[in-house]
Amino acid sequence: MRIADSPNQDDRPAGSAVTLVVLHSISLPPGEYGGDGIERLFTNRLDPAAHPYFKEIHALKVSSHFLVRRDGEVVQFVPVERRAWHAGTSSWRGRERCNDFSIGIELEGTDDSPFEEAQYRELAKLLRRLAGSFPLKAIAGHSEIAPGRKTDPGARFDWARLFAELAGASL
Q: What angle do CA 153, 155, 157 make, to 5 degrees?
A: 55
Q: How many CB atoms lie within 10 A of CB 129?
A: 13
Of 39, 106, 108, 122, the catalytic one is 106
Q: Which of 141, 118, 153, 154 is nearest to 21 (CA)?
A: 141
Cβ neighbours of residue 66 closer than 8 Å, sequence gap 6 or more: 74, 75, 76, 77, 103, 104, 105, 106, 126
Give the residue among 78, 102, 81 at the shortest CA–CA distance from 90.
Answer: 102
Give yes or no: 96 in active site. Answer: no
Three-class SS of 59-74: CCCCCCCEEECCCCCE
Q: Which residues are catalytic?
A: 106
